[in-house]
A and B are shown apart, each in its own frame.
Chain A
Amino acid sequence: MDTALLKHVPLFVSLPPSALADMAVSFQETRYSAGAVLFREGDYGDRFYIVLDGCIAIVKALGSDDERLLGRRGAGEFVGEMSLLSQDGLRTASVRVEADARVLELTRADFDALLHRYPLLAYEMLRVLSMRLRESHDTAIHDLHEKNARLAQAYADLQSAQARIIEQETLERELRLARETQESMLPRALPRLAGFDIGARMVAARMVGGDFYDLLPLSPHRLGVVIGDVSGKGMPAALFMALVSSLLRAEALRSDTSPEQVLRIVNRHLLSRDARGMFVTVLYGVLCRETREFAFVRAGHEMPLLLDADGALLTPAMGRGHPLGLFPNPVLDIQAVRLPPGGMLLLYTDGVNEAMDAQSQLFGPERIVAAVRGARDTSAQQLCDQLVQAVTTYRGLAAQADDITLVAVRAQ
């Protein structure tokens, strides 16, 4: 081969021209196309290579998912020395041609002979190897930094995901506690009034609701009956509901306060607070054991239903009444009905009659009346449970849009 080619190889610049001529006979020039593999990691190494032109890549784990580029060698650089110098003689990486390359190849025996003849070459090679070693360390440290950063990011992501889960769990726990607190505000056991059978049921559309009912033993002969519906749903409605039902209970249990006075006082309390436009529809009445009369005040709430023992409707005409929390001096619908023996009085919230099926058709008061007529022999509590079941069945797959509350009183 041409000695002139060797002159441009940095590894040989310190050698005299005679040495180059001597070496030239040992080298064989070969051309490789891009993509060719000079040798593979783990193979026994029997050649040393010097790149004349083109570009080759040194690759670990060639062809696998973990393939990693260690470096590139171009014109004047050498490759393949490590396996010739190491004890086991195995290639530590693969070499693939990246751009068509011309290389000089030297056999293991010629490589050994060359180093014996020109020890200066060993020093030159060592200098290059030291430089590559430093580069390799820098790369390894850089990789390590990068991996650490990725790991730190993954850890931070995991921590924030965990924090979100904990936050969610805390919120759910608090909602459960809120629900329990709200349920504890409803009468635990329904008070009794001789001559009447009483039932009640509330099913919130969400974890907590804005509906409420209460039964207040005002005396052995008089029972206060309350049902209410706060405008809205969820936590704001639940908090407002807690306020309203507490105020109502406190005012109703004072002696000599009429239902109308109770609602007017509660209304004043509500208006004295900025409740962000919230209001409540309420029906509060007093059931008298002796007269069987239910004297009630309706503040914007649905009219109660009254049916006699034969299922005939006795509900009086609706008067006019404002909800509480809107106006300083609301109009209230003040009425009284008498429960005939076997008659059923049913108080409910709009979640019952306005329950919608998948086609957005309302359950309607007619279905409530039909349920009452069909439950002549059941208890007041069973009627409430059956109505909840009927609404649930009617709704089908449609979501429960509003809280459902029922209070039933049957005269015996």
Chain B
Amino acid sequence: MTGPWAPGLVLAPALLLVASAAVLLRPGSARRAGALSLLAVLLSALPLTAAWVGRRCDVILWAPGTAEPGGTALALRLDGLSIPFVANLFAVSLLAFWYALGYLERVRRPEWCYSLLLVFVASMLGGLLADDLLLFLVSWEAMLLASALLLVGWGEGPRASAVTLRYFIYSQGGSLLLIAAMAWLAHTSGSTQPEAAFRAIRHQPLPVLQSLGAMLFVGFAVKMAIVPVHGWLPDAHAIAPMPVTILLAGAMLAMGAYGMLRFALLGLGPAALMPLQAPLMALGLVSQVYGAWQSLGQRDLKRFIAYSSVSQMGYVLFGIAALSSAGASASVHHILGHGLVKSLLFMAAGVVIASTSRRRMSGMAAIGRLLPVPALSLSIGLAATAGFPPLLGFHTEWRLLLAGLEAGHPLLAAGAFAAPVATLAYALVLVARMMECPAHEPPAPVAAPRPMRVSTGLALALVLLAGFLGGPLGRWIADLLPEMEAVL
């Protein structure tokens, strides 16, 4: 155990799990369950905040069973790479649970929904804090299970089961690759602790390392919804209840990026992964453009925002594929921003849908006039996505493009300048639609539940703040991340 506040690392997920059971004990009102859940999230953020303020909190070992050779340990760790992701997770969870106070008022069995939401957050936190390959895999699968149960239990529409099946199979396909890669890693290195394991296999021949890297990248790319394995995302985001969508888009997609950074990039090192650079950059580009293109044509508001996530994850992959510290820190910064902006977009969209009972893009005309604050939130969120300075997207955009230029594939790097245009196009589609004058006067909107509106306001404030603090934020992240080149 090293670092002060070390027990906090165990306390945080444990608290969430205990809360998830506690919520089930009193199946009374949705409000009570929601308040308890929100409190649990806030409380579990405290020990972690104490752990990372100022200094990093490095290795924490809680190892009841290390007697076996290659046996696993319940080891947790909070270091420079996980801190931004944990921060993102808690910010998005806070917003999602606050929003859920209003959204989940009228669903059936709300206490089960909150319980599963807490398990979902706990599993993501476990994945971020895990310092052991098996623990990571268990958290990964628990994340899948919790989200699948949420989708099938509370998904809207008649296709919920089919969509969940598809999501499960896509995810599990990626997970199977990860399990195979990590089993190979565990056996060859004789250890299940990631740092030690990767250090031990450094001397393996390059083709072997590259195959391992390819398996890890593909496995995590499925979770990040990179084209062409993105098929699960639009439907899953569209049918899920809004708090689940917020967590899926804001936090779960980031887990894929975390996996890539921790295991593939930090673990294997940039030198071993060089031959994979061009294909990965190309995949990132394709994702950026394809996601944006698909957004243009969507007729449902939630699917529109969901495809925007596909495009944004393409940016992140592009940054990771630059295989440098600058690229990695730009990606992490982008993920942080994406979490906040996507939450804002979905929350504002939810307020619009709740107020006007309209989900089609064609029904968005005159929203600018009828619901000025949600429309403004949507516009700011879209402007942030499109890279409008001084909002969030701009800071990460130029950093990603710079990292791409430094990577040594001039054509691909130049192609990356085209993606923001596509992003702008779909952003303008919605903004223009909201400013349109409809053919007939739409009915007056109802007020959405208060927690939904308040949390959307909070999200807006966070997005603006993070945008204006973009420079310092980027520098903070760049300081936190370990040096990529030194991994050699």
| A is bound by B | no
